[in-house]
Amino acid sequence: MRISAICLKTGMTKDTIRFYEKLGLLTRVARGENGYKDYANTHVEQLNLIKRAKELGL
């Protein structure tokens, strides 16, 4: 899925997702033949975990 779809599923902005990716908090994101990043459901789970941990103050 593209970043816009993952934004809708997680409630995070594109910049936030890219920031977490840059920090290395997400597993490697594959690229499609068109060059776009192809996020998986695993990335949604990782981002939701990060979001929940942040809400808990970790």
Task: Tell me the CATH number for domain 3-56.
Answer: 1.10.1660.10
Instruction: Evaluate if residue 58 carries a pLDDT over 90.
Output: no
* Statement: the pTM of the whole predicted model exceeds 0.85: yes
Locate 21 and state its tokens. Answer: 């990716």
Measured between alpha carbons, how far is 35 from 47 in angstroms, rounded to an integer? Answer: 22
Is the CB of residue 12 less than 8 Å from the CB of residue 50? Answer: no
Place of tokens 């995070």: 12
Measured between alpha carbons, how far is 18 from 13 in angstroms, rounded to an integer? Answer: 9
Tens digit of pLDDT for each residue in 1-57? 999 999 999 999 999 999 999 999 999 999 999 999 999 999 999 999 999 999 999
Locate 44 and state its tokens. Answer: 């949604």
